[in-house]
Amino acid sequence: MPSIEERMKEQIGELQGQLQEYIDRLDAPKTLKDSMLYSLQSGGKRIRPLLLFATLEAFRKDWRAGLPVACAVEMIHTYSLIHDDLPCMDDDDLRRGKPTNHKVFGEAVAVLAGDALLTYSFQILSDAPPALLDDRKKILIISELARAAGPEGMVAGQTLDMEAEDRRISLEELESIHLHKTGKLISFCVKAGAILADATKRPRPNCPNSPAASGSPSKFATTSWISSGRRRFWGRTWGATSPRKRAPIPPCSAWRGPIKNWRKPSSRPRRF
């Protein structure tokens, strides 16, 4: 039996190949396709697809059944990174140790590549073969994904993040930013895995309140480095070239309660 690391490596490899295939089949300008693929294949932990695959396997289903949804999620996540790096947002020069999309292809193409990835993700879902996604599942997944990525989810989080510029924010505000900007899409991956596994009548984890769904642990680890004055290379410039001032991070003492809460079991499962 392969180890967890070997299984994840296999899953990421197949995901990469499927993403490449989806871009290759597009009848679109080469520059646009190159820009889309540049950011899609620029690395990353692939946490969202891996969570979806793990949920399927938890229900003893073939994880490959989730490949179309996993690709759609990764495209939406990638579009958000492209737009987040633009001069009008965070104005970053580096992403995962490489020049950001707009630094390579220009701002106009970067915006269009992000737009293309967002819209193409829903085309992939709607065109998925019935053997993988029947009509009922398509409607459920498309609805959940749009909600997680749209004005009640990821886009809301980015808006809250930008509105928090140049002022000190509370821990609750910071958690709300991460819940929407990061957590909603992560939470969707677990929900989608349950839908694909026909587990809608079984209990599911209370995703919005789980540590992973909040997006906070990983953000806490990152922001702790910054707030403590340390500078570690994370593949980003962290504002070194950006005129934008990020919201001041609450002092470390404010994190003691949340850290204890992350260690507690989540509330009882809910049904959907």
- In order of their start, the domains of the chain are 4-263 (1.10.600.10)
Per-residue pLDDT of 217-247, as tens digits, reads 444 434 433 333 333 333 444 444 444 555 5
CA of residue 190 relative to chain centroid, distance = 12
Mean pLDDT along residues 83-87: 96
Per-residue pLDDT of 151-174, as tens digits, reads 999 999 999 998 988 888 889 999
Half-sphere exposure of 29 (CA within 13 A, CB side): 7
| Predicted local distance difference test score (pLDDT) of residue 86 | 96
pTM of the model: 0.79
Per-residue pLDDT of 246-259, as tens digits, reads 555 555 444 455 54
Residue 36, classified by CB atoms within 10 Å of its CB into exposed (0-12), middle (13-18) or buried (19+), is buried
Nearest-angstrom CA–CA distance, 67 and 111: 26
Q: Which residues contact 86 (CB under 8 A, 6 or more apart)?
A: 102, 107, 110, 111
| Predicted local distance difference test score (pLDDT) of residue 229 | 38
Mean pLDDT along residues 14-36: 98
| Predicted local distance difference test score (pLDDT) of residue 242 | 46
In this model, does residue 115 exceed pLDDT 80?
Answer: yes
Nearest-angstrom CA–CA distance, 257 and 265: 15
